[in-house]
C-alpha cells in the first residue's frame, strides 16, 4: 500500500469513526431533552396488508443503498398507521438475511470451512500464523475474509448495545430520516464519482475492514443504509462497485442475524410483536430480497450509484416537506 493509500485509509477511518460516535451521541442525548417525543406507540401494530407491503419494501430496499429502515418508518407514516417499531423491523430483516444466506451459500460454506481450519491451528501457529500455514491459497483467502467479517462486525455490536434506546426512539424521527437520506445520498454520489474502482475483494486489508465496520455502525440510524454506508466506504478505498457490494452483503449477515435473534428473544414471551403478520412480512422479504441481490450485482457491473443518490435526495426532501407541514407524523 503506497503513501497515498495509507493516508486515505487513515483519513477515512477517522472521518467515519468520528461521524458514528458524534451522531449516535447526539441521538442518545435528544430523548432526555424532550426534543422528539412520542415517536412510536408503546405496542407495535402491523396489519396483514401492511405486513405484505412492509415485507416487499424490506426485501427490495435492504440491499439497495436507499435504507430499508427508513422506508419501514416512512410507509406507515404515509398511510397514517403506527410505526411497527424497531423490534418488528429487526425480525423482518431475518427474511432478507435468509435470502442473503441462500444467494451466497457457496461463499459462506467455503469461508466457514476455511475459518474453522484456521481456528484449529491457532494453538500451534498463533492467530496471525493460523492463516498463513493453510496450504491452499483459496482457503487462505477465504479464512482471511472470515476473520475480516468477524472483526468488522464488532463495532456495530458495541454501538448497537450502547445506543439501543436512541436507535429505537429518536433515531426513527422523520426529520432524522429525511436528513440522513439526503446527506448520505450526496456522500454516496460523491464517493462513487470521485474515487477510482481498481481493487477487488482479494485486496482487502485489516485497515479496509476497520473502515467498513465503522461505516456499518452508521446504518444503526434509519436513513443511512447499511449497504449504502459500506459501499460508500468501499468506493472511497478504491474498490469496484461490485467488490464493495459483495463484501458489504457478506459483512451484513452476522449483524442482521444477531440483531433479529436478539429482538425476537426479547419479545418472544410478550405481546409486543404481532407475530402472524410479522412472519408473513418475513417470508415476503425473503423472496423479494433474493431478487434484489441478484439484480443489484448485475446492475453495478455497468452502472453508477447516481440513480440511487438522486432517489435518496428526492425522497428525503419529500419526507421533510411532509413532516414539517405535518402532512405525515
C-alpha cell at 195: 474515487
Q: Does 69 score more than 60 pLDDT?
A: yes
Structural domain count, the chain: 1
Q: Does 304 score more than 50 pLDDT?
A: yes
C-alpha cell at 241: 462497485
Computed over every residue of the chain, the mean pLDDT equals: 81
Q: Is residue 291 part of a domain?
A: yes
Model pLDDT, residue 35: 39
Are 247 and 201 spatial neighbours (Cβ–Cβ below 8 Å)? yes
Q: pLDDT category, 118, cuts 50, 70, 90?
A: confident
With helix as H, strand as E and coil as C, how does the chain read? CCHHHHHHHHHHHHHHHHHHHHHHHHHHHCHHHCCCCCCCCCCCCCCHHHHHHHHHHHHHHHCCCCCHHHHHHHHHHHCCCCCCCHHHHHHHHHHHHHHHHHHCHHHHHHHHHHHHHHHHCHHHHHHHHHHHCCCCHHHHHHHHHHHHHHHHHHHHHHHHHHCHHHHHCHHHCHHHHHHHHHHHHHHHHHHHHHCCCCECHHHCCHHHHHHHHHHHHHHHCCCCCHHHHHHHHHHHCCECHHHHHHHHHHHHHHHHHHHHHHHHHHHCCCCCCCHHHHHHHHHHHHHHHHHHHHHHHHHHHHCCCHHHHHHHHHHHHHHHHHHHCCCCC
Distance in angstroms (rounded) separating the CA atoms of residues 289 and 98? 9
Q: pLDDT category, 40, cuts 50, 70, 90?
A: very low
* pLDDT over 90, % of the chain: 42
Provide mean pLDDT across the span 268-281: 77
Model pLDDT, residue 11: 54
Distance in angstroms (rounded) separating the CA atoms of residues 81 and 73? 10
Q: pLDDT category, 197, cuts 50, 70, 90?
A: confident
Q: Is residue 229 part of a domain?
A: yes
More confident residue, 34 or 274: 274
Q: pLDDT category, 232, cuts 50, 70, 90?
A: very high
Model pLDDT, residue 117: 83
Model's pTM, two decimal places?
0.81
Are 215 and 233 spatial neighbours (Cβ–Cβ below 8 Å)? yes
Q: Is residue 68 part of a domain?
A: yes
Model pLDDT, residue 245: 93
Residue 210's nearest CA partner among 161, 154, 163, 249 is 154
Model pLDDT, residue 270: 55
Residue 170's nearest CA partner among 221, 216, 217, 214 is 221
Q: Does 205 score more than 70 pLDDT?
A: yes
Provide mean pLDDT across the span 237-263: 87
Q: Is residue 34 part of a domain?
A: no
Q: Is residue 33 part of a domain?
A: no
Model pLDDT, residue 16: 54
Q: Is residue 37 part of a domain?
A: no
More confident residue, 77 or 125: 77
Are 142 and 114 spatial neighbours (Cβ–Cβ below 8 Å)? yes
Q: pLDDT category, 214, cuts 50, 70, 90?
A: very high
Which of 31-35, 184-188, 235-239, 321-325 comes out lowest in average pLDDT? 31-35
More confident residue, 273 or 170: 273
More confident residue, 97 or 64: 64
Q: pLDDT category, 225, cuts 50, 70, 90?
A: very high
> Which residues touch 3 (CB under 8 Å, ≥6 apart)?
none
Distance in angstroms (rounded) separating the CA atoms of residues 35 and 135? 58
C-alpha cell at 117: 481450519
Distance in angstroms (rounded) separating the CA atoms of residues 248 and 230? 6
Are 100 and 246 spatial neighbours (Cβ–Cβ below 8 Å)? no
Q: Residue 197: which domain range?
A: 3-23+46-324
Q: Does 104 score more than 90 pLDDT?
A: yes
C-alpha cell at 206: 485489516
Instruction: List 239's β-bridge partners, or say none.
Output: 199
Q: Which of 124-138, 259-273, 303-317 has the highest mean pLDDT?
A: 303-317
Distance in angstroms (rounded) separating the CA atoms of residues 42 and 177? 21
More confident residue, 164 or 140: 140
Q: Does 1 score more than 80 pLDDT?
A: no
Are 304 and 169 spatial neighbours (Cβ–Cβ below 8 Å)? no
Q: Is residue 207 part of a domain?
A: yes
Q: Is residue 211 part of a domain?
A: yes
Amino acid at each position: 500500500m503506497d503513501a497515498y493509500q495509507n493516508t486515505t485509509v487513515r483519513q477515512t477511518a477517522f472521518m467515519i469513526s468520528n461521524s458514528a460516535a458524534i451522531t449516535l451521541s447526539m441521538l442518545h442525548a435528544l430523548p432526555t431533552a424532550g426534543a422528539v417525543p412520542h415517536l412510536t406507540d408503546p405496542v407495535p401494530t402491523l396489519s396483514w396488508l401492511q405486513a405484505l407491503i412492509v415485507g416487499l419494501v424490506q426485501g427490495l430496499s435492504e440491499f439497495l443503498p436507499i435504507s430499508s429502515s427508513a422506508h419501514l418508518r416512512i410507509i406507515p407514516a404515509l398511510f397514517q398507521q403506527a410505526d411497527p417499531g424497531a423490534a418488528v423491523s429487526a425480525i423482518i430483516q431475518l427474511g432478507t438475511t435468509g435470502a442473503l444466506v441462500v444467494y451466497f451459500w457457496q461463499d459462506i460454506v467455503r469461508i466457514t470451512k476455511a475459518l474453522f481450519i484456521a481456528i484449529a491451528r491457532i494453538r500451534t501457529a498463533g492467530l496471525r500464523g493460523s492463516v498463513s500455514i493453510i496450504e491452499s491459497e483459496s482457503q487462505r483467502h477465504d479464512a482471511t475474509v472470515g476473520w475480516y467479517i468477524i472483526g468488522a462486525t464488532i463495532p456495530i455490536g458495541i454501538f448497537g448495545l450502547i445506543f439501543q434506546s436512541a436507535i429505537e426512539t429518536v433515531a426513527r424521527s422523520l426529520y432524522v430520516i429525511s436528513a440522513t437520506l439526503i446527506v448520505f445520498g450526496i456522500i454516496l454520489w460523491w464517493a462513487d464519482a470521485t474515487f477510482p474502482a481498481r481493487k477487488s475483494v482479494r485486496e482487502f486489508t485489516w485497515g479496509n475492514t476497520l473502515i467498513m465496520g465503522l461505516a456499518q455502525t452508521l446504518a444503526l440510524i434509519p436513513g443511512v443504509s447499511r449497504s449504502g454506508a459500506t459501499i460508500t466506504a468501499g468506493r472511497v478505498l478504491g474498490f469496484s462497485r461490485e467488490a464493495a457490494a459483495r463484501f458489504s452483503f457478506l459483512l451484513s449477515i452476522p449483524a442482521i442475524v444477531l440483531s433479529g435473534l436478539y429482538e425476537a428473544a426479547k419479545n418472544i414471551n410478550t405481546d409486543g410483536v404481532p407475530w402472524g403478520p410479522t412472519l408473513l412480512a418475513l417470508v415476503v422479504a425473503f423472496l423479494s430480497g433474493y431478487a434484489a441481490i441478484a439484480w443489484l450485482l448485475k446492475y453495478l457491473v455497468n452502472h453508477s450509484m447516481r440513480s440511487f443518490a438522486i432517489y435518496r435526495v428526492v425522497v428525503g426532501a419529500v419526507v421533510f416537506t411532509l413532516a414539517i407541514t405535518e402532512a405525515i407524523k
